[in-house]
Structure 1
Amino acid sequence: MSITLESIPGIGPKTLVKLHKLKIFTPTDLVYHFPSRYIDFSKSVPISQARINENITITGKIIFFRNIFTRNHKNIQLCKIADKTGILNIVWFNSPFLSKNIKINDILSFAGSISLYKNQKTLFSPDYGQYNTGKIIPKYPETKGLSSKWFRKTIQNNLEKLLKNEKENLPLEIIKNFTLLDKISALTQIHNPKNNSYLNNARLRLSIDEILSLQTQSYLQKENWLTLKPHTQFFTNKNITKKINKLINSLPFKLTKDQKKVWQEISQDLLSPNHGTNRLLVGDVGSGKTIIAIFSCFLSYLNNSLSVILAPTEILAQQHYKTFSKFLKTYKINIHLLTSNSKLKTKNLNNSDIIISTHAILHKNKSLLKKIALVIVDEQHKFGVNQRSALINSSNPPHSITMTATPIPRSISLTMLGNLNLSCITTMPKNRLSVKTFLVPNHKRQNCYEWIEKEIKKTKCQAFIVCPFIEESETLTSIKSAKKEFENLSKNIFPNLKLELLHGKTKSTERQQIIKNLSKNKTNILVTTPIIEVGIDIPNATILIIQSADRFGLAQLHQLRGRIGRGQQQSYCYLFTSSDNAKALDRLNFITKHSDNLKIARYDLKTRGPGEIFSTFQHGFPSLKLANLSNTKLISLSQKILKTIINDCPNFDLKTLTQSSTPTLSTITN
C-alpha cells in the first residue's frame, strides 16, 4: 500500500504548504530531497592537531561564551572550547540566540575550517551539536519553518516506510557487473551514511541514475525519429549534383575543411532513403554555418520542395534574407522574408521556395506548414520548445537541421543530445584575426574612450557599445542602461561622433534604417543591448565595449564578441566592470585569454554548472540533484551501462530508466 505525505507523522496542512515551496509533493519527492552537504563527526581530531585551512571536527568542553555588541549595532559571539590538548577560539556573527543553546561545561562537537585569526587558531561560524555518536550528519536544504534538523528527523524516522514506494530500476546483472549499490541501499546511505565509503557509493549510484535517465530519453527519442519517414524524400542526379557544385564553385571564398565535411554529412542525411534528417550543427560565430544552410535549402529547391529558415529575431531574419538573396541571385528562386511586420499575401507565400521567418510563420495557415520539407532553426536556444515543435513534430516530419553557436562540451552531447546527429565546424575562415580582449577597470575607462575616438577617426572603423538593460534598474543602480549610456556618450564622451541607439523596443522601420546607416558607415558608434548577439553583420565594426560585463555569462560574452572581427582588420573587445568580486573577475580574465568557444564552455560548465551553457534553452534544461555534467568519467560510465543494457538485456524495458524521480529531458533538441 502506497503512503502519502499527509500520513507521515508531523506533516499536517501547514507543513504541507512549506514542503510545496521546496517542490516536495509526494513521498518520493521527500526521499529525493537529498542532503546538500554533510558534517563528518566520525573523524574528530584533538585541538593540537588542527591545521590551518583544514576541514575538521573537534569535540571539547565549553569554557567561555560571550555576546559582544559593537558600536555599529552588530554583535559577535565569542566562544572557547578545550580538550586535553589545548584551547580553540570559535566566532559567530549576528547569532545572539546561540547563548540559549551553548552553555558553559557543555560537551559539543564543532565542524568547520580552521583559520588563523590574531595569531590564534579559530573556527568561524561552524556547525555544532551534541554529536558524540561519531556519525556523518546530513544537512538538508531548508525553507522557513522547516529546518535541516526537521528533515533529518522526519526522513530517518520514516525512511523504511518511504522506501517501500521505491523499486529497483536497473537489471540485477548490471548492478553486479558494475559493482553498484542497489537502489534501496543507495537511498538509505545518502540519508544515513555508515561511513564515507558508503556515502560515495550511494552518490555514484544515484548520479548514474540521473545521467542514465537523460541518456535513455535521448536514445529513445532518436529511435522513434528513425522510425518516421520524412515529409519529402530528397533525391539527387547528375543534373542536381552539377548545379550544387556550380553554386559551391561560384562562392567568393573557399570552403574550410570542416565546412566540406559537414556538408557531406548533412547531404547524406537529406538524401537517405531510410530516415529523415535530425541534425545539430554547432559552429562558432563567423565559422560559416549559414553557407551550409544555403546549400541545404538549394538541394530542397532542386527537389521542388519548400524550406524554411526560422530565426529568433527580425534582425537575424533580415540578415539571412540578405545573405541568401546574395548567394542565390543567379537562380530563379522565390525567397520570401516573413516577420510580424511583413505584409506578404498568402498567395506569395504559397509560391515560395525558401521562406526566411521569425515565429510569424507559426501563425500562418496549417496548409502552408504541411508543405514544409526542410526546417532549419538558427540559434535554436532562442526558441521555446512549443514553437519548434509546431514545425517539427508530426508523423511525417520535415527534415530538421538546428544551428547554434553555443559550444557543446562532449559530456553534455553524450548526455542530452544523443537523439541528434552532431556536426561541428571548428575551423575558422582563413585570414580571420582573433579579437584582442581586455578587462578595463574604472580608472582606465576615459583612456579607452579617448583611444576609441582616435581609432575611429584614423581608420574609419565602427564600434558597438553593449549595455545589459534598456532602461535604468531601480534596484541595480550600478548597472549601465542603453538609454542612459547613449545620452551620456553622445553629450559628454563622443560629441564629435555620430551615435545611434538600438534595442528590443526600437520600431521595425527605425531598426532597418539604423542597420542601413551602419552598413553604409554613416554611424560611428552603435549603443545597444544584447539584441545584437545574433544577426548583426558589419565587417567594418572592429571595436566592442561591453558595459557591466560581469552581468553576462561567458558564453554570451563570446557570442557578443563574435559581432566584431568579421573583416580583415584587427578587432578589439573591452570588458568594462565595476565589480570587485573575485570569481567574477576570474571569469572575465579567463575570456580575455581564450577565444576557443569550447574551452570557454568547459570553463563555464566547471565553474558555473550547465545552466550557463543552456541558460536560454527555454524549458529545456533538466535539474540534476547529484550528477555533475562536467564529470566525463561519470557520463562515460553511464553511457557504457546503457550500451550494455541495450546489447545484453533485450527484454528489459528501457522506459524503466526514465522514471519520474529522475530528471526529464525536455525537447531542447526537438
Structure 2
Amino acid sequence: MADLNTDVRHIKGIGEQRAKALGKLGITTLRDLISWFPRRYDDRTQAKKISELVPGEAACVAAMIASEPKMSHIRKGMDLVKVRAVDDTGVLDVTFFNQTWLKNSLRQGETYIFYGKAEGNLLRRTMASPIVEPEGRREFTGRIVPIYPLTAGVSQLILSRSIRQGLDDCAAILPDVLPDSVRQAHHLCRIEYAYENIHFPESAKALDLARRRLAFEELFLFTIGLKRLRSRRETVHVPPCHDVDMESFYGALPFTLTDAQRRCVEEALADMRSGVPMNRLCQGDVGSGKTMVAAACVYFCVKNGRQAALMAPTEILAKQHYAGLAPLLEGLGIRCDLLTGSTPAKTKRSIAEQLAAGEIDFAIGTHALITEGIAYRDLGLVVTDEQHRFGVAQRAALAAKGEHPHTLVMSATPIPRTLALILYGDLEVSVIDQLPPGRQPVETYAVPGSYHQRVYNFIRKLAAEGRQAYIVCPMVSENDELPDERKAVTEYAKKLQNEVFPDLKVAFVHGKMKAREKDAVMTAFAAHETDILVSTTVIEVGVDVPNAAVMVIENAERFGLSQLHQLRGRVGRGKHQSYCILISDNQNEETKQRLKVMAKTTDGFKIAEEDLRLRGPGDFFGQRQHGLPGLKLADIGCDAQLLKEAQQAAEDLLARDPELTSCPAAAERLRELFTQAADTLN
C-alpha cells in the first residue's frame, strides 16, 4: 500500500514521463498530488437546450449527432472535423480543430454532451472545439468540474485522472490531524470526504463542506506552529544591550525623522534592550524611510560593541544601500564595507579577515554575506531587505553567523495587520504609516488601450524634459500554458525602439536574464544611459531611479492592487512630479473597481486592505517563500470567523496537551509543514 510520501512515478497510470511533467508544478509525492487543489470550478451540472444557448456564454448542451462527421484538411498543421448535432429545439454546427480521431469516435444517431461557448444567431448556433463526451459518462460534464493550475505538458485531463488515481490509492491511509472532539465541536466533515469533494464534488454543498474542513485544518495547524515558533524564540536569552545616546545619530541626519520612524526605532531598541533576541518586521510604504530605521538600529548595535549586517536581494540594491548608508555611518565612526558576488576574490578575502577580526562594524551585501568563508567576530544585528524575496532559511543562515543576533526585516509591501500576524507570526510588526514631508504623490490614471498614442506622446514630452519611463508588460497567458516572457518583452521593446521611439534609447529586462545581465541593464537605466525600460515585474523591487517620472502598466487588470502599488513605487522618488498610467480594456466590474482604487489613493495600507478584500490572501503576494507553510485554501479576508474558531480550538488543545501527545497525526503534520522554517518543531 502506498503512503503519502510515495513518489508519484509509482502511482498506477502515471509513470516517468507524466511524473516529470507533474514535477514542473512541484508535485513529486502522493501528498503533493492530492493537495494540488483546484483554482476554481465550472458548474456543468445543467444541460441546456440548443435554443437556450446564449452567444459568448459557456454551457453544456445535450444533442444527437445527425450527420456523419466530415474531415477536411485546411493547410499544413490544420485539420477540421465538422459535425451537425440536433435536439428538439434546434441545430448546432460543431467544429473541432486538430482532433482528427473524433471523426471515427463520434457516431451518428447517438447523443453526446457538448460543453463550450456557443456563437451564431437564433437561426444557426455554432460551437468551436467544445469538450465532448457520451451522455451519461459524467467525466467532464454533468457535474461540478474542478479547474486546476497547469504547466506545459500537463492538461486538465491528465491532472484530473492522476488525482483520481492518487485519491483511490490513499483513501484508506489519509491521517486525520484534527482530534475527533475538535471536528465534532466545529461541525467539520471527515478527511476522506473533504479530499474527495474538494476534487470531485458531489454537489455545491459537499464542496462547501470540504473547503471549510480543509481551510479550518490549515488555520488550526498554522496557529499551533506559530505559537511554537514564538514560544521557542522567547526562551532564548541574550545579554541585553545598554542604553546609547541616540542624539548623535539623529543630529547627523540631513533631515528629521517622522514620528512613525521614531516610534519604529524605539520599538526596535526596546527589543534589543530586553534580553531576548529581536525578531521584528518593519513594514512601510515605498519611500517611508525604513532604511533610516535600520540605520538607527545599526548605530545602536555597533555602539554596544557588536557588528551588524544588511542583506539585500540583489547586487544593485546592496550597492544602493551602501552608497546611502556608508557616508552617514562612517561619519559617526562606524566602519562599513560592501560584499557581493562580484567583489574581487582578493577584496573578498580581505573583507572576510576584517569581519572575523572585528575590524568592520557593518557589512552590506547580498547572499555573499552568508557564504561559507565569511565569519563575524560578534554579529549582533541582522537586517534583511524585502522579506518576500528571502526564505526564512536564508534569514536563518545569516543569523547563524552570530550568537542569537537581533533580526530586523524590512518590507515595502504594506500588509494589513491581521494578515501580517498570520504570515509573519514569528515576527513582531512595526508599521511606518506616514511619508516624509514634501514627497509628491504619484498622479495615477486608468485609461483604455485606445489611449496608447497619447501615452507615447506623453512619454516623449517627459523625455524631452530629461525624464525617464518604465513600461511594464504582464506575463500571464490565456491558455494555462507557461508564457515566454523573453519573447513578449523583447518584441515589445523592439517595436517601441523601431516604430515609436526611434530617437530615444529603449532597453528591456525580464526574469529569464542572468542576474548580472539584469543588474547591468538596471545600472545603465539608473545612469540615464537609456530613456525607456520595458520590463516584466522583475523591477517591482529594484534600484532607486529618482529621474524616472512615468510608469506605464500594460494590461493592468492582470495585477493585484498591492503589486500595482509596488510598481507605482518605482517612480516618484525624485523632485519631479511623477505619473502612473494603468492601461486596460477589461470591462469586468471588479477590475474597474480595483483600478479606480489605484487612481484614488496612494496609501499603501488602504490599498492592501482593499486588495485583501477583493482578492483574498492567495493572490496577495504571488509566489512567496517565507518558510512558513502557505495557505492553500484558507482565505483570511473571507474566513475571519473560521480563523477565530481555528485559533480558539488550537489554543484549547495546547492548554490541555502542549506536546500534542494525544494527537500524534497533528504533531507529525506540523513537523512536515514547518521543515523549511528556521526553527524545527519538536
By the TM > 0.5 criterion, same fold? Answer: yes
User: SS in structure 2 opposite 1:280?
Assistant: strand
Name 2:258's counterpart in structure 1. Answer: 256
8 Å CA contact 1:307–1:355 kept in 2: the answer is yes
- Range with bigger deviation, 21-30 or 304-313: 21-30
User: SS in structure 2 opposite 1:175?
Assistant: helix
Match of 1:219 among 224, 227, 230: 227
Name 1:15's counterpart in structure 2. Answer: 15
Name 1:459's counterpart in structure 2. Answer: none
User: SS in structure 1 opposite 2:172?
Assistant: helix
User: SS in structure 2 opposite 1:566?
Assistant: coil
Distance in 2 (CA, whole Å) between partners of 1:252 and 1:425 is: 19
- Range with bigger deviation, 338-347 or 49-58: 49-58
Aligned positions of 1:33-72 closer than 5 A: 43-44=46-47, 57-64=60-67, 66-67=69-70, 69=72
8 Å CA contact 1:112–1:126 kept in 2: the answer is yes
Match of 1:455 among 465, 470, 494: 465
- Range with bigger deviation, 216-225 or 301-310: 216-225
Task: Give the residue type in structure 2 aligned to 1:87.
Answer: G
Deviations along 1:53-78, whole A, 9 cap, x unmatched? 77655445444564464856552534
> Post-superposition shift, 1:183?
1.2
Task: Give the residue type in structure 2 aligned to 1:401.
Answer: L
8 Å CA contact 2:329–2:335 kept in 1: the answer is no
Q: Does 1:390 align with 2:394?
A: no
Aligned positions of 1:72-111 closer than 5 A: 73=78, 75=80, 77-83=82-88, 86-87=89-90, 89=92, 91-94=94-97, 95-111=99-115
Name 1:334's counterpart in structure 2. Answer: 335
User: SS in structure 1 opposite 2:334?
Assistant: coil
> Post-superposition shift, 1:474?
9.9
> Post-superposition shift, 1:348?
4.0
Aligned positions of 1:459-498 closer than 5 A: 462-465=467-470, 476-477=486-487, 479-480=489-490, 492-494=502-504
8 Å CA contact 2:176–2:665 kept in 1: the answer is no
Q: Does 1:544 align with 2:550?
A: yes
8 Å CA contact 1:211–1:638 kept in 2: the answer is yes
Match of 1:165 among 165, 170, 173: 173
Distance in 2 (CA, whole Å) between partners of 1:268 and 1:317 is: 27
Distance in 1 (CA, whole Å) between partners of 2:47 and 2:518 is: 67
Q: Does 1:185 align with 2:193?
A: yes
- Range with bigger deviation, 545-554 or 173-182: 545-554
Name 1:281's counterpart in structure 2. Answer: 282
Q: Provide the alpha-carbon RMSD of the alignment.
A: 5.1
Unaligned runs of 5+ in 1: 457-461
Distance in 2 (CA, whole Å) between partners of 1:668 and 1:110 is: 48
Residues 264 and 224 from structure 1, CA distance in 2 versus in 1: closer, same or farther, beyond 3 angstroms? Answer: same
Name 2:411's counterpart in structure 1. Answer: 404
Task: Give the residue type in structure 2 aligned to 1:101.
Answer: S
Residues 528 and 320 from structure 1, CA distance in 2 versus in 1: closer, same or farther, beyond 3 angstroms? Answer: farther
Name 1:421's counterpart in structure 2. Answer: 428
- Range with bigger deviation, 658-667 or 592-601: 658-667
Name 2:143's counterpart in structure 1. Answer: 136
Deviations along 1:160-210, whole A, 9 cap, x unmatched? 763221121112222122111121222343455443212221122123334
Task: Give the residue type in structure 2 aligned to 1:108.
Answer: Y
Name 1:269's counterpart in structure 2. Answer: 271
Distance in 2 (CA, whole Å) between partners of 1:443 and 1:129 is: 51
8 Å CA contact 1:32–1:661 kept in 2: the answer is no
User: SS in structure 2 opposite 1:248?
Assistant: helix
8 Å CA contact 1:619–1:666 kept in 2: the answer is no
Distance in 2 (CA, whole Å) between partners of 1:508 and 1:21 is: 32
Residues 393 and 77 from structure 1, CA distance in 2 versus in 1: closer, same or farther, beyond 3 angstroms? Answer: farther
TM-score by length of 2: 0.75
8 Å CA contact 2:147–2:156 kept in 1: the answer is yes
8 Å CA contact 2:6–2:29 kept in 1: the answer is no
Task: Give the residue type in structure 2 aligned to 1:107.
Answer: T
Distance in 2 (CA, whole Å) between partners of 1:151 and 1:326 is: 56
8 Å CA contact 1:542–1:572 kept in 2: the answer is no
User: SS in structure 2 opposite 1:22?
Assistant: helix
Deviations along 1:296-355, whole A, 9 cap, x unmatched? 112212322211122233433333234334544653332333344263455543223322
Distance in 2 (CA, whole Å) between partners of 1:514 and 1:114 is: 49
Distance in 2 (CA, whole Å) between partners of 1:214 and 1:569 is: 46
Residues 117 and 315 from structure 1, CA distance in 2 versus in 1: closer, same or farther, beyond 3 angstroms? Answer: same
Residues 277 and 135 from structure 1, CA distance in 2 versus in 1: closer, same or farther, beyond 3 angstroms? Answer: same
> Post-superposition shift, 1:423?
1.9
- Range with bigger deviation, 337-346 or 257-266: 337-346
User: SS in structure 1 opposite 2:171?
Assistant: helix
Task: Give the residue type in structure 2 aligned to 1:269.
Answer: D
Match of 1:360 among 360, 368, 377: 368
Task: Give the residue type in structure 2 aligned to 1:224.
Answer: R
Distance in 2 (CA, whole Å) between partners of 1:494 and 1:194 is: 60
- Range with bigger deviation, 23-32 or 481-490: 481-490
Deviations along 1:524-547, whole A, 9 cap, x unmatched? 9586878876574454x2523558
Distance in 1 (CA, whole Å) between partners of 2:541 and 2:160 is: 49
Distance in 2 (CA, whole Å) between partners of 1:193 and 1:467 is: 40
Task: Give the residue type in structure 2 aligned to 1:638.
Answer: L
Q: Does 1:174 align with 2:178?
A: no
| Residues matched between the structures, number | 637
Name 1:323's counterpart in structure 2. Answer: 324
> Post-superposition shift, 1:52?
6.5
Distance in 1 (CA, whole Å) between partners of 2:495 and 2:616 is: 29
Distance in 2 (CA, whole Å) between partners of 1:148 and 1:482 is: 31
Distance in 2 (CA, whole Å) between partners of 1:358 and 1:446 is: 37
8 Å CA contact 1:486–1:501 kept in 2: the answer is no
Distance in 2 (CA, whole Å) between partners of 1:195 and 1:405 is: 43
8 Å CA contact 1:622–1:666 kept in 2: the answer is no
8 Å CA contact 2:112–2:132 kept in 1: the answer is no
> Post-superposition shift, 1:96?
3.9
Q: Does 1:294 align with 2:295?
A: yes
Distance in 1 (CA, whole Å) between partners of 2:309 and 2:190 is: 49
Distance in 1 (CA, whole Å) between partners of 2:489 and 2:166 is: 49
Match of 1:564 among 558, 571, 586: 571
> Post-superposition shift, 1:373?
0.7
Distance in 2 (CA, whole Å) between partners of 1:259 and 1:31 is: 46
8 Å CA contact 1:215–1:414 kept in 2: the answer is no
Deviations along 1:83-129, whole A, 9 cap, x unmatched? 4xx23526343134334333233233445566664665666514543
- Range with bigger deviation, 217-226 or 141-150: 141-150
Name 2:385's counterpart in structure 1. Answer: 378
User: SS in structure 1 opposite 2:237?
Assistant: coil
Name 2:438's counterpart in structure 1. Answer: 431
8 Å CA contact 1:138–1:152 kept in 2: the answer is no
Distance in 2 (CA, whole Å) between partners of 1:166 and 1:251 is: 60
- Range with bigger deviation, 338-347 or 292-301: 338-347
Distance in 2 (CA, whole Å) between partners of 1:192 and 1:481 is: 42
8 Å CA contact 2:119–2:126 kept in 1: the answer is yes
> Post-superposition shift, 1:401?
0.7
